[in-house]
Amino acid sequence: MSAQNSPAKSMRTPLARVRSLGASHSGTSDFWRQRLTAVAMTLLILPVIVIVLMLIGSNQAGAKLILGSLPIAIILLLFIVASAWHMKIGMQVVIEDYVHNEKLKLAGIMANNFFSFAVALASIYALLKLSSGV
């Protein structure tokens, strides 16, 4: 048996070695998803700022005209989704790291998921409503 596979040399449980999961039980997937959403938001922030500047001083008809453009709506939708997902992951990491009571941690994660989803849904609804003029 090699030293790499020796149970005496590893502090990970056999199940954790098989699943490749760390102490948080989610491996590095949240880490990479948060980096991915950060890159997406970084790439989208300049177009979003330009769109917001275009909307300044517009009435509802002007906003409908600007937001009714398919490329602009897609940019804003992508930014909303990336932001909400990034927010969800970031808050979840904070809750998992700093809330030590398991029941409070579960409640916090559930509230975080609900809040992030509600923010994304409300933002997408507002964008669709403004862009369609309904």
Q: pLDDT tens-digit profile of 51-81?
A: 999 999 999 889 899 999 999 999 999 999 9
The answer, yes or no, to whether residue 2 has pLDDT greater than 90, is no
Residue type, 119: V
Q: Quick check: is 60 in a domain?
A: yes
The answer, yes or no, to whether residue 86 has pLDDT greater than 80, is yes
Q: Quick check: is 84 in a domain?
A: yes
**CATH classification of the domain holding 95:** 1.20.1300.10
Q: Reduced to 3 DSSP states, what percent helix, strand and coil does the chain have, rounded to the nearest 5? A: 75, 0, 25
Q: Quick check: is 14 in a domain?
A: no
Q: Quick check: is 16 in a domain?
A: no
Q: Quick check: is 95 in a domain?
A: yes
Number of domains in the chain: 1
The answer, yes or no, to whether residue 39 has pLDDT greater than 70, is yes
Phi/psi of residue 21, each to 5°? -105, 150
Q: Quick check: is 79 in a domain?
A: yes
Q: Quick check: is 17 in a domain?
A: no
The answer, yes or no, to whether residue 5 has pLDDT greater than 90, is no
| DSSP letters for 39-50 | HHHHHHHHHHHH
Q: Quick check: is 114 in a domain?
A: yes
d(CA 91, CA 103): 17
Query: What does the pLDDT look like over 14-37, one tens digit per residue?
Result: 766 666 555 555 558 888 999 999
Pick from 92-96, 116-120, 129-133: least confident: 129-133
d(CA 42, CA 13): 38
**Which pLDDT score is estimated for 100?**
94
Domain extent at residue 46: 26-132
Query: What does the pLDDT look like over 90-114, one tens digit per residue?
Result: 999 999 999 999 999 999 999 999 9
